[in-house]
Every structure is written in C-alpha cells, then in structure tokens.
Amino acid sequence: MKNLGRLFLIILFLYLLLGFTGYACAIDFKKKVLPNGLILINSENHNLPVVMVSLILKAGMINEPPEKAGLANLVSETLAEGTISRTSRQISEELDFIGASFDTETTEDYISIDLSVLKKDVERGFGILSDVLINPVFPEEEIKRKKEQIKGYLKKLEEEPSMIALKACKKEVFGEHPYGRMVIGEMETVNSIERDDILRFYREFFRPNNAILTIVGDISEKEIDEIVGRYFSKWDIDRKSLYDTLNVGKIIQSKDTANPEKKGKVIRLHKDITQANIIMGGIGISRDNPDYYALSVMNYIFGGGGFSSRLMKKIRDDMGLAYDIHSLFTPNKQLGMIRIGLQTRNEAVKTAIGEIYRQMEKMRNEYVTDTELSEAKSFLIGNFKRRLDTNRKIADFLSMVEFFNLGDDYLEKYPEYINSVTKDDILRVARKYLIPENFVTVIVANQKYLNID
Amino acid sequence: MTPKTPKVSLEEEIQDSRPDPQISLDMLLYFAMRKNIFCLILYLLFVLMPVSVFASEVKEFILNNGMKVIILEEHKAPAVTFQIWYRVGSKDEPNGKSGLSHLLEHMMFKGTKIYGASEFSRIIQKNGGTDNAFTTKDYTAYFEILPSDKINIAIELEADRMKNLVLDPKECVLERDVVVEERKMRYEDDPQNLLFEEVNAIAYKIHPYRRPVIGWMSEISSIERQDLYEYYSKYYSPNNAFIVVVGDINVEEVLRAIKDKFEGMSGSINTSILRFDEPEQSGERRFILKKEAELPFVVIAYHVPNFPHEDSFALDVLSLILAGGKSSRLYQSLVYERRIALNVSADYHGFNVFPYLFFISATVSPNGDVKEVESSIYNEIRKIVDEAPSEYEVQKAKNQLEASFIMDQDSIYMQAMKFGIFEILGSWRLFDKYLEGIRKVTPTDIVNVAKKYFIEDKRIVGTLIPKKVEASR
C-alpha cells in the first residue's frame, strides 16, 4: 500500500508537471483524410529547421504470396530506382545534394518510407518523395540489380548466429503463417520474383486510401496543405477506375496458429563459433489484444527491463553466464511472438536454459512483489513520454498509433492502461503466454562442444 | 528490411556496458541493418559532428577541485541527459592488461558502499530513465537520460560511484566472465569485426591504439581485483573528469546540486602527457584472416592526422566524396555499376586524442572478387589524385555534413555527446573551428590530402577469406 501511494504521488506529479508547463509532451497533432483517402497527420514544432516525414503503406510481408517471399521488401527497395522522369542515379544524386536521408523499411505488416530533410529543402524533398511513390517505373535492370544485392545479403546473414537462430525460431513458432518467414525472403523465392509481381503488388497496395502520411517539424499546417495538395492530391485519381475492384489490404494467406506438435522442441544448428546463441520463442499476442499492457509489465519484470529484470539479475549478475539476456514480445497486426535470447559459453547452455525455465515457472506460480510492480509501472510510464524527445521519434510514433488504431488519445491514456495492471493480471498473462512446453528452443553453436543431452 | 550496412568502423569501439532495456540484440542488429550506407554515414557523423549552438548559451564552470562542468539549457522536451566523462581509456592501460578500462566500466554498475550491485540502473529505471556507459581508446563515459525533474538522482549516483566503488572480488570474477562472453559475441564470432581488430593491431608497433578496447581474450582473463582497484584509484578523480548536462533544467539549480555532491572530493591525479614514438611505417602491411564466413571482406587503413590538424577537414569531406550516400564514387562504381561489392564505406576517424586511421572497407558480392574490389578502391583514389573533384561534388559533401549537423540537434543526448567529444580533444568550443574548417575545404585540398596520406607503402590491408569458399575451390 505504501508503494502504491508513492506511485500515485509520482504519477500525480507527472500529470501536474505536464499540465502546468504545457510541454511538447502532450503532443499536439492534427489528423485529416484527403479526398483521395490519404490520412494526413501533422505536428508543428518550430525549434529546429528540420522536417521529418513518415509514409506508411498498410501492406507488408503478410500481403505477399508465400512462393514470392521477399516481394514486399523488393518493391520498397526498387521504388527509388527510377521514375518516369528520374533515373536511379538522379534520385540519389538529388537526395545526397540536399543532405536528406531517405529510407524504406518493410515489416511483417507495413512498409514505411522515411524522409528527413532540412526546412529549406522541403520542396525538393517532397518532389522526390512523391515522385518515387506515384511514378516509379521499376526498370528491369534495376530489379535485377536489387535481386542480386538482396541475395548477397541473404548470404551475409548466414554469418550472423543470432539471425540464423531467429529465422529457425520464427519458422517453428509460426509454422505456415506468413510471420514464420523472414521479411527479406529466401534465395529461391527472391529469384522467382518477376517485374510483373512487383507491378501487381505496387498497383494493389500503393494507393492513397491505403496510406498514412505523417509530417512533423518546422512546417505550418498551411504550408503542409499547400505542399501536400501539390504533390499528393494527384495520387491515384487517374488510376482509381482501373483498380477499384481490388480488395485493398486483404490478407493473401493467413493460417493463424502454429503447428502444435512442434512445440517444446529443441533445434540445434551447427556453426563454427565460440559461444552458443540461444533463442526460445513462443506464440504471443497481436497488437490489439487487451493483454498488451499486462504483458508489457510482466515482460519488464521477467526479462525486458534490462538490469531490473529477473533474467538479467540471475543469469548475468548472479551467474555471470551471459552478456546479453533479454525477453521481448513483438506484437504484430495478426499475431505475435514472445521470446528470450542470450549468448553463453557452450558448457553453460544447459544451466542457462534450466534457469530460464525456472524463472518462467516462478512467473507463473508466484505473485510479483509490490516493489517489482511499482517499479515496472513507473519505468514504463515515465520512459514512454520521455522517449518522444525528437521530431523523428514523434513522427514514427504518430504513424504507428494510427496504423495500429491505438486511438488519438493514446499518449494520454497510456499511463492509465499501465496503471490498471494488477498482480493478478500479471499472473494470468504469465500462465497464458509463458508455457514452457510451448517454447521452441534454437541453439546455434559448435555442436561438437555442446553437451546438453 | 534489406540489410545494407557493413559493420564498418565498430573499430571506433563504443563498448556499451550492456544492452538497453527493452532493446534486444536482434533489434540492434535490425536497426543496424535497415540503415543504408548513407544513413550509416550520417549516423557516424552524428557522433562526430558539433552543435551549432552559440557558445554564449553554453555555460562552463570549474569546480574547486578542478572538475569542469558544461551545461546547456534546452527546453524543447521535459528531459535531461547527465553525462560524466573520464579521461581514461584503453590507451592508458598497463601492458598485459588490455580491457582493463572496459571491465572497470562494467564494475561501475556493481555496487558502492551505499548502493548494492546493480542498484544503479534499477534506481534510474524506476524513475523513468535509462542509463549506460561506453569505453573508447581515449575516454570512458557514463550517462543517464531522465525526466528533467529527476536529474538530482543522476548527480547523486554518479558522485557516489566516483569515490565509493566497492569492487567486490566475487563480482569482479563474475563480470570478467560476462565480458568474455561479450568479446565472443562482438569479435570472435563476427568475422568482419575481427578483421577490423586485426588491422588495427598491425597498424602500430608501439602506440597503445593497437590494443582493442574490449581487450585480448587472455588478458581480460588475467585482470584481477587489485588491477581494477589501482586503476580506479588512479584515474577516477574529479580533476580527470568533466560533466556535461543538456536538457530542460535551470543552470544555477543544477550547478548547485553538482557542487554539493562533487566538491567534497579532492582531485588527486597529476596527468602526465603520454608520448609514443611510433616508428614510421615503410612498406605495406597485409593481413589475411581465414574464418568461417559467407563473403570475403576487405579493410584498407591509412595513417592520418587527428582533429584539429589542418588536413583533418579535407579528410572528413573526402570520406563523404568516397562513400557518403548512394551517389558517392565508391558506391556508384563498386556497388551500383559493377556490382562487385555489396556495400562500401569510408570513415575518417579524426576525433581521437592521437592521430589514428582512415578506414575504407567493402563486403565482396557473391559474384565479386576480393582482389578486384581492392584494386577498384585504389583506382577511385587514383582518380581523385589525378583530377580534382568538382566544386559541385565538394559542395554536396559539405551539404551532407551540414544537414546531419542540424538534424543532430534534435536529440539532447547527441548534443551532449558532441560537447563531450570536443572537450576530450581540448575544448567543447572547438566545434566552431570544426565548422569553419569544413566550410573552407576546396577541391585542391581534397587532392592534396589524398596524395599525402593514401600512400601504398603506408597502408594496412586486411582481407577476410571465408574458409568455406576456400575449401570448395
């Protein structure tokens, strides 16, 4: 009760602080839908002459056919490799000359295109951004080049033990579900992607009514209306009749549970390395699952809270077995994963895994302490707002809130969501999601030296 | 999520004491991979670039024990970063004890007479903050980022561990094991990083920059509690450290709190100026690393002067002309046109206390040839020596520097980092000199530095030859 009282005071204090000083903390933003369906979000912040743009397309890996795995990624990678009026070289030359950064990223659920540009170059930045988005031509030669590059990186990934482990773990946990694949795809599937596949994906999903445009920084609403009107209002209007029969955002393939008989499995993969790289994974939750907040608190206490977490305290601090030990859950649109990762010496593998299971059981069988609960909550709440301290982070945050439908008042509501989590909730989610038999353990190591049987 | 980034220049060696809460290794890798080369360059510049803040806004104070305090009020968000920088790094380690600075950095989280092991981070986190530390060749820095009203917690905790560290023998042994695992993860099992480490080690015969910051495996294992204690007593003194604060605070209040906690300690160190007469290199040094790997990788290093040497500015601009963004020369030629490399980078490491190296590195494509990649890099260098780059090309590089410079100010942490790096080199005020120097660079300067430093007999070349590939041929 004493702790709870102190927590209340802390939160009350935070609220008062925010309320009275009117800091950027309560982020001021506006949202509207343009006639072509594009969602436009903006937040003005005039303390630095920069403009951060985030464009989210609501389509990602889950929207590609399994035999063409890597398609969504390849589309986003070739977007800036040539438009009706610019060659690949011209695009990079122009972007570099204004010192802009332009970045595309493909995830399980969406594709994001980020542009960071100085205020004085905002016109040129939007010119290029809209051009690659609306007028890409996907030249054969550029596709070939990118495919070669991606295949090279697939090879390079084989050098990284943690990536090998993650790939194997995802495959086991999600089975046939698209989340069981890597966004980058496989050698054969990437090879099989043709220009037509790219065009089809582009035409189906790169539409204004399937996108979120977020603009944060030194630009007024009036300037935004003007510039967005000029560069984005033309988007799709003349193509609409051609494609409106397509079901925007539909899931091409979704089998939503993992293969049950594969659970509890241990997979050992050989690599000539000096330590064992371990990932233990199980089915978690989708982002809209109401357990998200209880799981956030539980995970912080279990293995997500760095040096405040139980796994770190035990496995690193008390036993000296690993440099990095953590748990995390990745909630995606349809499903998610919860996993534990560590690297340890070969001789300690059995001990470490045994200890992780013990900690899982403890989480499932005992209440967390008052201190653990209050400290987890105060970190999550305090750090949540503190982290939104740059224009780029605010832009990314606002797009994600919109993409996952978290609500326009999410920032204000978050402390409430976290504060309402009880010890019973934590026990409940631990029992629901930390089921030792359901975790797949992948060990990438020099199997010669691994003695775990 | 096409990975596009080589792990270039991790040889710059920022060894975090531990992974960030909530950010897993996978996520870190993922961040590293999703950046394209240009972003990586920008990122590196972020670390190296100064702030365009008028010197008058920054307040500097010297405490009665000789400790400097640098404070900037920045009210854009209710957050603050508190950083304490010690002028001690791997260059200061006794022979045979490489990794001592870094292990001590880890031990700084393992308890004082007042707070138990690992209490430090717990306290920071429950106050909504995060903390970490890093060790380099020249310095060891500790930082916290907190809601601004919590700054006194950081001040108290940092003052406490400056003088009250326990260095429990049992904890020392356990933490040594942790660092051994860290070394395996970062170097032994990462062939590209291992190659950087090797190239760095053969670049010098005498100079302590040859030591890896994390330490050689056998030497890490030889570090005892007594070594740590002596090192701590010698270097962790207020007149061998300085504080940087940037955030939503009031200068007077913060200064008062800092004085209250730090002025009670007396400055003990008499810093002697290190001197190392590294014999001149006359003849290329070459190293071949054979490890299990998928793709060959090449690293070329040249000895170069450090900032604020008059040539340092042109070297910085040159690194962008070579590999700053997809329109850069090396990217266009090796990655785009000829497809012999998957990625390429050029990094000038000028922000060191002593002259260090200029690294050029490239991952060879599956269909590429490592020798061809290496000779193509020399070709591009020759082109610069033979014909000055255009005004436009130089301007493009300067624009990239300027843009990253401005964007960098978005983050209070980065602002404080830059003050710290410049202060290590002499004074945070040097950033003015840096900007001025960059603006003055001409195409002729570029040719001159390329001619002067990119010399065959003075280079160090490392190649990673994948064992698998060799076996199959």
How confident is the model over B40-97, as pLDDT tens digits?
333 333 333 334 444 458 999 999 999 999 999 999 889 999 999 999 999 999 999 9
Q: What is the pLDDT of residues B179-191, one digit of tens each?
A: 999 999 999 999 9
Q: What is the pLDDT of residue A196?
A: 95
**pLDDT at residue number A239:** 54
Find the CB nearest B175 among A100, A320, A375.
A320
Q: Give the count of Cβ contacts less than 8 A between chain A and B.
A: 263
Q: Considering only CA atoms, give the Rg of chain B.
A: 22
Cα–Cα distance between A55 and B92 in angstroms, integer? 48
Q: Where residue A42 falls among pLDDT bands split at 50, 70, 90?
A: very high
For A287-316, what is each residue's pLDDT tens digit? 999 999 999 999 999 999 999 999 999 999
Q: Which domains does chain A have, with CATH numbers?
A: 30-243 (3.30.830.10), 260-449 (3.30.830.10)
Residue from A389, A393, A394, A418 to probe the interface with B (highest B Cβ count within 10 Å): A389
Q: Is B182 an 8 Å CB contact of chain A?
A: yes
Residue contact A156–B324, C-beta within 8 A: no
User: Is B105 considered catalytic here?
Assistant: yes
Active-site annotation holder among B74, B105, B144, B197: B105
* Domain B285-472 grouped into CATH 3.40.50.2300: no
Return d(Cα B43, Cα B45) in angstroms, integer.
Answer: 5
- Vertex A355 angle, CA A353 and A361, to 5°: 105
CATH topology match: B10-26+55-262 vs B285-472:
yes
CB contact under 8 A, B188 and A105: no
Least reliable range by pLDDT among A94-108, B165-179, B246-260, B272-286: B272-286
B36 SS3 class: coil
Strands (E), A119-272: 211-217, 266-270
CA trace torsion B451, B453, B458, B460 (10° rounding): -120
B294 touches chain A (CB under 8 A): yes
Q: What is the DSSP letter of B458?
A: G
Residue type for B56, please? Answer: S
User: Is the domain covering B10-26+55-262 a CATH 3.30.200.20 domain?
Assistant: no
What is this model's ipTM?
0.88
- Residues of chain A contacting B182 with CB distance shorter than 8 Å: 323-324
Give the integer Cα–Cα distance in Å for B444 and B465.
37
A25-34, A45-54, B206-215, B295-304, range with the lowest pLDDT: A25-34
Contact A97 B407 (CB under 8 A): no
In this complex, is the C-beta atom of B217 within 8 Å of any C-beta atom belonging to chain A?
Answer: no
Identify from A326, A337, A446, A448 which residue to disrupt to test chain B contact, counting B C-beta atoms within 10 A and taking the largest count: A326
Q: CA–CA separation, B85 vs B438, rounded Å?
A: 26
The position carrying tokens 């040129």 is A124
The residue among B421, B82, B419, B433 whose CA lies nearest residue B261 is B82
- Rounded CA gap, B127 and B373, in Å? 51
Contacts of A47 in chain B (CB under 8 A): 76
Q: pLDDT band at residue B468, thresholds of 50, 70 and 90?
A: low
B185 lies within 8 A of chain A by CB: yes
Q: Show me where the domains of chain B are located.
A: 10-26+55-262, 285-472
- The shortest CB-CB distance from B29 to any of A162, A390, A392 is to A162
Rg of chain A over all Cα atoms, to the nearest angstrom: 24
d(CA A322, CA A326): 10
Q: What are the tens digits of pLDDT across the range B125-135?
A: 999 999 999 99
SS3 B67: coil
Q: Which residues of A touch B127 (CB under 8 A)?
A: 378-379, 382
